[in-house]
């Protein structure tokens, strides 16, 4: 790492009294990750003995090896003295037991390492390699203790890399494999290429895509067989992660070297299907390439690639609205499934996604719970992030917003640790926030997801993020911005050939945003465009959401009775499907239409019912919206003095007991005082006031007092009995 000048200067001041031997001890410490006084003492002694046995020259201090060994003996223990001085100077710190040491700041180690000569660094690594017990650490020091090729060292380091990879440390294994390749003599071209390929594989497993690409490109340059050429280019492609555009030449080279080998061709066709799906947005090509991949994999006996290709084929077939879309998934699930770590693109994960599209939420949730358990047990961070994001969609649609928020926090945390897929994690977190958190945070996260997807040309998550951002902006009252976002999502879905209205859910929200913006003709065109397809594909939940938009359109044209009928049907069907948020949205819209009909009590009842639905779902932003609708209505109607035979002020919705408690609280009485006057418990008063707040669309005693004062001079009818 580059070391800032202030760190170098600060370290120099702290070490101003340290002699050459002390600096050598600290350099040795800087060369290793974990050290103790005992290790540093062994390394110092090993270095002196090695120089004596090898007849080495002076060590940079001006003293011959024999004289230095004598001085070490005469001085007692210079290593302990150096450590004590470094601890006192704040260069080193010890753990609670005082055994293990570390640098007070990582850059101190970097500064020491950067300030040493090449010969000093080589010597420090050689001394550590002679005394370090851990095989992987010893291999690293041996690899760094020389500059000339050495097959013996390269082989030892390679074996250590494989061992540490089996122990679950792919990042360290990749670093060792890189060192092994660097120490491999030029005449062993095949061995060097295999070591580079192994290192690239370890780097990919560690999500270090930059190192994976670097090692894979080096392997491609060294490759001496068609198989190695193909493996190297496959690693280059996979290292691109979701940024797959611009890889046509790499694919062409890989196919040229693959020849007729079915295993290699299957893998390449699958990757080309992924590229068409993610980067090119060509769903039809994705279907065709996935079909070729499955066929070639079946010929080559590659079951893993076959089930992945079949699962992808089923997914894109669903997007295309094909009648045979599920047939590949049935075939994939009929094959024996791998018992190891799962894959977020595997058939079981795709089945969960298709269950979600069809509103089979219990099946989707059960499937994802099992897959998440396997991914976490295997410590597969990438799969865990993808599966958490899929689970958030299911939890929100099922009205479990609290669980969605918890999953969103975990997904974001894991994505940041992984350093990848942050755009997708931002999108999933935005979904959770829009349903159960904060609309402002949802907007910020959705905007970030759009930015990342745009930058990476990710045509999967870009339209999804645009749909969510459009919905959030519509709920915030900016209909024009909502129309812009949702229209862009619609254009991308059309360009990708996506027919199913659920995977990219733009239709109902775009229609509602157009109605809010006063563009009724465009809204009607949107509804007409997707209504038949929604019904043909059996997307009942989406069809009812579209019916809600159609009802609002009818209300806008003056057909209020027809709008009420449609909204009641949508609300009943959404409730029966187990879609609480959609049910609540129907009730909010129904309340607004009933208000226009001057059916005040019916409007209030709808909004109260919507608030109850959202409260059970922990859908806080939607709950706030329902309460705000009731509160605005109360003030507007009260200021206008009512408008029909039914009193407009929301006190009408309270029971006699609730009305008494509300009047006393509005007059300023405390819960204890109210309880004493009514001969009730304080807990009963508290629960009664909670119901009062919900019915009146308020959240606190202060709002109750304000509402009471605002309506104190107006006549109030008797409460409902």
Could you tell me the two tokens for 87?
Answer: 């601890």
Average per-residue pLDDT for the chain: 86
Residue 69, pLDDT above cutoff 60: no
Predicted pLDDT of residue 3: 65
The predicted-structure confidence for 687-717, as pLDDT tens digits, reads as follows 888 888 877 777 778 777 776 665 544 444 4
- In this prediction, residue 677 has a pLDDT band, given cuts at 50, 70 and 90, of confident
Predicted pLDDT of residue 719: 46
The predicted-structure confidence for 605-638, as pLDDT tens digits, reads as follows 899 999 999 999 999 999 998 988 887 766 555 4
Predicted pLDDT of residue 48: 46
Could you tell me the two tokens for 710?
Answer: 């605002």
Q: How many residues does the chain have?
A: 721
Output 528 or 43, whichever has higher pLDDT: 528
Predicted pLDDT of residue 560: 94
Q: Tokens 């390439």 appear where?
A: 289
Provide mean pLDDT across the span 190-219: 92
- Whether the Cβ atoms of residue 174 and residue 202 lie closer than 8 Å to each other: yes
Identify the bridge partners of residue 102 per DSSP, sorted by sequence position: 93
SS3 category, 101: strand
Provide mean pLDDT across the span 109-138: 87
Cα–Cα distance for residue pair 657/420, rounded to 1 Å: 57
Cα–Cα distance for residue pair 306/309, rounded to 1 Å: 5
SS3 category, 528: helix
The predicted-structure confidence for 222-264, as pLDDT tens digits, reads as follows 898 999 999 999 999 988 876 677 788 899 999 999 988 999 9
- Whether the Cβ atoms of residue 525 and residue 553 lie closer than 8 Å to each other: no
Give all strands of the β-sheet with 100-103 in edge-to-edge order: 35-36, 100-103, 92-94
Residue 15, pLDDT above cutoff 80: no
Provide mean pLDDT across the span 78-83: 84
Backbone angles phi, psi at 441, to 5 degrees: -65, -40
Residue 175, pLDDT above cutoff 90: yes
Residue 565, pLDDT above cutoff 50: yes
Backbone angles phi, psi at 34, to 5 degrees: -130, 130
Provide mean pLDDT across the span 649-676: 80
Predicted pLDDT of residue 401: 97
Provide mean pLDDT across the span 384-413: 95
* 612: DSSP letter: H
Lowest mean pLDDT among 234-243, 266-275, 382-391, 617-626: 234-243
Closest to 657 (Cα-Cα) out of 628, 695, 624, 627: 695
Backbone angles phi, psi at 103, to 5 degrees: -75, 140
Provide mean pLDDT across the span 301-327: 94
- Whether the Cβ atoms of residue 217 and residue 229 lie closer than 8 Å to each other: no
The predicted-structure confidence for 480-494, as pLDDT tens digits, reads as follows 999 999 999 999 999
Residue 296, pLDDT above cutoff 70: yes
Q: How big, in percent rounded to 5, are the helix, strand and coil portions of the chain?
A: 75, 0, 25
Predicted pLDDT of residue 74: 42
* 718: DSSP letter: P
Output 143 or 697, whichever has higher pLDDT: 143
- In this prediction, residue 544 has a pLDDT band, given cuts at 50, 70 and 90, of very high
- In this prediction, residue 420 has a pLDDT band, given cuts at 50, 70 and 90, of low
**Percent of the chain having pLDDT more than 90?**
52
Predicted pLDDT of residue 60: 42
- This prediction has a pTM of 0.73
């Amino acid at each position: 790492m580059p070391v800032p000048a202030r760190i170098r200067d600060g370290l120099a001041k702290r070490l101003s009294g340290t002699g050459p031997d002390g600096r050598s001890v600290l350099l040795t410490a800087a060369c290793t990750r974990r050290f103790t006084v005992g290790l540093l003492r062994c390394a110092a002694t090993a270095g002196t003995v090695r120089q004596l046995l090898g007849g080495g020259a002076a060590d940079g201090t001006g003293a011959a090896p024999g004289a230095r060994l004598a001085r070490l003996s005469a001085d007692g223990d210079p290593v302990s003295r150096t450590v004590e001085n470094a601890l006192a100077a704040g260069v080193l710190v010890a753990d609670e037991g005082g055994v293990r040491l570390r640098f007070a700041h990582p850059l101190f180690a970097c500064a020491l390492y950067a300030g040493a000569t090449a010969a000093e660094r080589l010597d420090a690594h050689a001394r550590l390699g002679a005394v370090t017990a851990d095989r992987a650490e010893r291999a690293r020091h041996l690899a760094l203790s020389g500059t000339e090729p050495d097959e013996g060292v390269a082989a030892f380091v390679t074996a250590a890399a494989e061992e540490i990879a089996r122990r679950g440390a792919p990042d360290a294994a990749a670093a060792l494999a890189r060192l092994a390749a660097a120490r491999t003599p030029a005449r062993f071209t095949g061995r060097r290429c295999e070591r580079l390929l192994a290192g690239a594989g370890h780097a990919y497993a560690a999500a270090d895509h930059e190192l994976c690409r670097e090692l894979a490109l080096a392997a491609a340059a060294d490759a001496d067989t068609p198989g190695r050429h193909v493996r190297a280019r496959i690693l280059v492609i996979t290292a691109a992660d979701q940024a797959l555009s611009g890889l046509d030449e790499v694919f062409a080279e890989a196919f040229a070297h693959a020849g007729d080998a079915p295993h290699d061709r299957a893998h390449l066709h699958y990757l080309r299907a992924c590229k068409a799906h993610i980067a090119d947005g060509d769903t039809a090509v994705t279907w065709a390439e996935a079909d070729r991949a499955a066929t070639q994999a079946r010929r080559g006996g590659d079951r893993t690639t076959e089930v992945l290709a079949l699962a992808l084929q089923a997914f894109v077939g669903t997007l295309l609205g094909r009648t045979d879309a599920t047939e590949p998934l049935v075939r994939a699930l009929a094959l024996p499934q791998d018992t190891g770590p799962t894959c977020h693109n595997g058939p079981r994960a795709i089945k969960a996604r298709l269950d979600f599209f069809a509103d089979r939420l219990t099946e989707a949730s059960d499937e994802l719970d099992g897959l998440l358990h396997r991914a976490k047990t295997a410590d597969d961070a990438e799969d865990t992030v993808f599966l958490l994001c899929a689970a958030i969609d299911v939890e929100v649609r099922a009205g479990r917003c609290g669980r969605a928020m918890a999953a969103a926090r975990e997904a974001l945390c894991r994505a940041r640790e992984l350093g990848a897929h942050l755009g997708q994690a931002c999108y999933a977190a935005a979904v959770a926030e829009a349903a159960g958190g904060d609309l402002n945070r949802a907007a910020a996260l959705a905007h970030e997801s759009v930015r990342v997807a745009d930058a990476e040309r990710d045509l999967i998550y870009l339209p999804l993020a645009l749909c969510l951002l459009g919905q959030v902006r519509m709920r915030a009252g900016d209909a024009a911005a909502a129309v812009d976002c949702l229209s862009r999502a619609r254009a991308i879905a059309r360009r990708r050939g996506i027919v199913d209205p659920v995977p990219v859910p733009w239709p109902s929200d775009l229609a509602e945003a157009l109605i809010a913006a006063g563009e009724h003709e465009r809204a009607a065109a949107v509804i007409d465009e997707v209504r038949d397809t929604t019904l043909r594909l059996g997307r009942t939940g989406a069809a009812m959401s579209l019916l809600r938009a159609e009802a609002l359109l009818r209300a806008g044209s003056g057909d209020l009775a027809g709008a009420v009928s449609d909204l009641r049907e949508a609300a009943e069907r959404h409730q029966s499907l187990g879609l609480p948020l959609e049910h609540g949205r129907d009730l909010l819209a129904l309340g607004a239409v009933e208000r226009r009909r001057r059916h005040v009590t019916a409007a209030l009842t709808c909004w109260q019912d919507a608030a109850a639905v959202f409260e059970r779902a922990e859908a806080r932003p939607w709950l706030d919206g329902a309460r705000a609708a009731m509160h605005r209505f109360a003030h507007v109607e009260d200021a206008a003095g009512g408008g029909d035979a039914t009193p407009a002020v929301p006190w009408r919705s309270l029971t006699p007991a609730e009305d008494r408690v509300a009047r006393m609280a509005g007059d300023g009485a405390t819960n204890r005082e109210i309880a004493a006057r009514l001969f009730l418990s304080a807990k009963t008063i508290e629960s009664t006031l909670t119901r009062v707040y919900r019915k009146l669309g308020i959240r606190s005693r202060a709002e109750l007092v304000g509402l009471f004062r605002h309506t104190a001079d107006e006549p109030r009818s008797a409460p409902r009995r």
